[in-house]
Amino acid sequence: MKTYLDCLPCFLNQALKTGRIVTSEEKILRKIIDQVMENLINIPLDAPPPKIAQTVYRTIKSITGNEDPYSTIKRKQNEVALGLYPEFKEMVIHSEDQLLFALKLAIGGNIIDLGAQREIKDIKKEILQTLSAPLTINDYKGFRRSINNSKLLLYLGDNAGEIVFDSILIEQLKKIDHLKIVFAVREKPIINDATMEDAKFVGIDKHAEVISNGSDAPATVLSECSTEFSDLFHKADMIIAKGQGNYESLSEENKNIFFLLKVKCPVVASHLNAKVGDTVLKRQSGEIRRPDHGSRC
C-alpha cells in the first residue's frame, strides 16, 4: 500500500506527540518537526507508510538521544493486558467457537496502538465491544481451511500489550498437532511495537518460537528485514499479520496472508472499502489491489 497525502499530517502529529514524551523544550521539538518536514518532502509517496514512519522515528531518536520513548508506557500496557488475561482466557474456554472467539479477541487487542490518533482509556471495554460485534470483513472459513492445511505458521506481532491476546489465539492454534508456530517481533523499539523483551515479559515464548524480524520499522517492510526472517516469510504456508502497519506494508505481497486488524484511519479504511472502527479478518486474495484514487475521510 502506498502513502497518501492524508498520511503526511499524521506523521507530523506522531512526531510531535512522541517528542513531547521525551522533552518539553520547544527548541528541541521545533528541531524534530523541522527535520521531519524536510524528510517528508524528499520521500516518495510510493513507499508504504511504515517505511516513512521508520524515518520519522529514527529522526526523533537521533535528535533526542532517546532510543525507546515509549518504554514505560509499553510495560504498563503489558501489565494491564496480563491482568485481563485470566478473564478473557476463561471467556474463550466457554465460547461456542473457541477459535473464532480467540481470533476476535486478538483483533480487539489491536486497539492498543500508540501510533493511532485516538486515545484508548478503557482497554477492556473496547475489546468487549469488538467481541460483541460481527467482523466487517470475515474470511473465517478460509482461515479455518488454511490453518488445517498448513504446517508452518508465521505470526507477525504488532504492539506491546496486544501480544497478550495474540498469545491466547496461539494457545488455540497449538491444538493443531501438525502446526509449527513462529511469532515475529521488531528488532529494536519503535512506538509501542513489541520487541523480544515484550514477548518474554508476557510469556509468549512459552507458546511459540519467537524471532526478531531484524527491522525497526513499525510493520513488516521486507526490504528492511533480516535474511533469516525473509527466508521464513517465504517458506511459511500461512501468515497471520496483525495491525494496520502490517496491512500497509504487506497488502501487495502475493502470499497466503490473513490480516487481523481494527481500522483506525480513513486511509486504511478507504483501501479496505471499510470504515474507521471496523474489525477485519481479511485473506490476501492474490489479486493485488492498487487504488489510483486518494484516500477519503
Taking each helix axis from N to C end, the angle separating 26-42 and 7-22, rounded to the nearest 10 degrees, works out to 150
**Of 64, 93, 109, which residue constitutes the final position of a domain?**
64
Is the distance from CB of 183 to CB of 157 less than 8 angstroms? yes
Is residue 169 in a domain? yes
Is residue 90 in a domain? yes
Are β-strands 238-242 and 209-212 bridged in parallel, bridged antiparallel, or unpaired? unpaired
CATH number (domain holding residue 152): 3.40.50.10880
Is residue 45 in a domain? yes
Same domain, 124 and 27: no
189, three cell numbers: 523499539
Same domain, 227 and 128: yes
Same domain, 126 and 19: no
Same domain, 114 and 234: yes
Is residue 225 in a domain? yes
Is residue 290 in a domain? no
The number of distinct structural domains making up the chain is 2
Same domain, 186 and 228: yes
Is residue 296 in a domain? no
CATH number (domain holding residue 23): 1.10.8
Is residue 147 in a domain? yes
Same domain, 21 and 128: no
The one-digit pLDDT tens for each residue of the chain (297 residues) are 999 999 999 999 999 999 999 999 999 999 999 999 999 998 888 999 999 999 999 999 999 999 999 999 999 999 999 999 999 999 999 999 999 999 999 999 999 988 765 667 789 999 999 999 999 999 999 999 999 999 999 999 999 999 999 999 999 999 998 999 999 999 999 999 999 999 999 999 999 999 999 999 999 999 999 999 999 999 999 999 999 999 999 999 999 999 999 999 999 999 999 999 999 999 996 443 444 433 322
Q: What is the pTM of this model?
A: 0.93
Same domain, 181 and 220: yes
Same domain, 117 and 15: no
Same domain, 259 and 143: yes
Same domain, 53 and 155: no
What was the pLDDT predicted at 285? Answer: 66
Same domain, 82 and 59: no
What was the pLDDT predicted at 118? Answer: 60
What was the pLDDT predicted at 293? Answer: 37
Same domain, 30 and 85: no
Is residue 295 in a domain? no
Look up the domain containing 35 and give its range. Answer: 7-64
What was the pLDDT predicted at 288? Answer: 37
176, three cell numbers: 493443531
**Of 16, 44, 64, which residue constitutes the final position of a domain?**
64
**Of 29, 47, 64, which residue constitutes the final position of a domain?**
64
